[in-house]
């Protein structure tokens, strides 16, 4: 189970809106501000992710929860998004090459096959989205601040 801390930003009928802040691995390095990879990571990493999670728990805005995603869901999603379009692209390129088609047709067929792979991955995700792969594992206690 891959776990993350999320903050409830709003409640809605049937669930809550959560935000998470992704943590990049480049932030732990001492030279991340001078490294090209660290600079690119900071520029391209989204600041917060916001999503809806169906739940019956009585949560309030501002509360923090620990959410979890099973590794199987992550691996399946990665295979569908990265490997399926690549395999379809390579398969279309090999098929077009064996058929003796001109290069322009080889390129077009490969691009269409890769696009089809992304469409299949998206449809698969929409069908699996009803299974709700993200679960609330725990509601974290609120920290009390004593004023002196």
Tens-digit pLDDT profile for residues 57-111:
888 888 899 988 888 888 888 899 999 999 999 999 999 999 999 999 999 999 9
User: How many structural domains compose the chain?
Assistant: 2
Give the tens place of pLDDT for each residue, 116-127: 999 999 998 887
87 with 44, same domain: the answer is no
- Per the structure, the complete domain to which residue 143 belongs is given by 1-69+133-148
The model's pTM is: 0.62
Question: Of 109, 83, 77, which Cα lies nearest the Cα of 96?
Answer: 109
Mark whether 89 and 54 lie in a shared domain.
Answer: no
Do both 64 and 2 map to the same domain? yes
Query: SS3 of 5, please?
Result: strand
**Residue 54 shares a structural domain with residue 79:** no
Same domain, 137 and 65: yes
What is the rounded CA–CA span in Å between residue 2 and residue 21?
Answer: 15
Cβ neighbours of residue 85 under 8 Å, at least 6 residues apart? 113, 114, 115, 116, 117, 118, 121
């Amino acid at each position: 189970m891959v776990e993350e801390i999320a903050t409830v930003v709003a409640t809605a009928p049937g669930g809550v809106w959560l935000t998470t802040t992704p943590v990049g691995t480049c932030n732990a390095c001492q030279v991340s501000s001078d490294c090209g990879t660290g600079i690119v990571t900071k520029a391209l990493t989204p600041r917060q992710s916001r999503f809806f999670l169906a739940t019956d728990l009585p949560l309030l805005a501002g509360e923090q929860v620990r959410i979890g995603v099973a590794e199987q869901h992550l691996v399946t999603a990665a295979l569908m998004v990265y490997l399926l379009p690549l395999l379809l692209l390579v398969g279309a390129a090999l098929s077009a090459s064996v058929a003796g088609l001109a290069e322009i047709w080889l390129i077009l067929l490969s691009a269409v096959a890769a696009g089809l792979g992304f469409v299949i991955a998206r449809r698969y995700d929409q069908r699996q989205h009803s299974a709700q792969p993200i679960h609330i594992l725990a509601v974290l206690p609120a920290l009390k601040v004593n004023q002196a």
